Structure 1
């Protein structure tokens, strides 16, 4: 089992990417509270560590080239965020059949039209399905396999 902050990181990343994918290519404001839940700043106006961890995850996504944004809205949101080409292509790509079968009980069968099979085997579908399941393990595996599979494969060879 991973550290709780790492599991929360994977969930924050998953939710943010799905939000951006669902409106792509339109720019949108990405609010921390929509991802991590409500937050009440303390008497000094400081956000909770959970809120700041989510905000940090959003900034990390930009640093890693997965999203762009125009500005931050305090520490509450990213203004006019959009997926990068790299993230959009990866989320839209088909995942390996073995991964789809391992992560998604509703994996496409051969009786479905090819277009439906493609949609149900995409990385974005795996992430949506993992979020819907509420399983931290599935969310972590879906994000790891979507964005870290190439670097993990390179390390193994």
Structure 2
């Protein structure tokens, strides 16, 4: 089992990437509160560790070339964020067959009767991210995010 902060990181970036993919190619504001939940700054105006970890995850995505943004809105949001070409290609790419099978989208029972274009959509990384988020299963979310981050994407 991974450290809880790593599991939270995977969930935060999964939610952020899903939001940005859903808005692509429009620029949108990405609010930490929409990802990590409500946060009340303390008497000194400082956010919780959880809030700051999520904000840090968003900044990390930008530093790693997965998203771009115009500015930060204090420590509460990224202003006018959009996926990079690199991230869009990764999320749109088919997931490895073994991972797709684990999520039940590569076997004939789940997709055999569907047109090939629909089958292809169901096997993309973004579909698996959405499926993992809907499940609420931290291990599944971590598994699919690791596949996105660590897979060989030499053609990106």
Query: Under a length normalisation based on structure 2, what TM-score does the superposition of the two structures give?
Result: 0.93
Corresponding residue for residue 66 of structure 2: 66
User: Residue 22 of structure 1: CA displacement?
Assistant: 0.2
Distance 1:15 1:101 in 2: 22
**SS of corresponding position for 1:29:** strand
Paired with 2:114 and 2:2, the residues of 1 have a C-alpha distance of: 36
Residue equivalent to 1:31: 31
Residue aligning to 2:92 = 92
Shift in Å, 1:96 = 1.7
Runs of 4 or more consecutive aligned structure 1 residues displaced over 4 Å after TM superposition: none
Q: Equivalent residue for 2:17?
A: 17
- Alpha-carbon shift at residue 148 of structure 1 (Å): 1.1
Normalised to the residue count of structure 1, the TM-score between the two structures is 0.93
Please tell me whether residue 140 in structure 1 is matched to residue 142 in structure 2.
yes
Once the two structures are superposed, residues 61-99 of structure 1 have per-residue CA deviations (whole angstroms, 9 ceiling, x without a partner) of 000000000000000000000000000001001112211
CA root-mean-square deviation: 1.1
Shift of 1:57: 0.2
Give me the whole-angstrom Cα distance separating, in 2, the residues matched to 1:97 and 1:116: 16
Q: How many Å apart are 1:106 and its aligned residue?
A: 4.8
Q: How do residues 52-131 of structure 1 correspond to structure 2 at under 5 angstroms?
A: 52-102=52-102, 104-107=103-106, 108-131=110-133
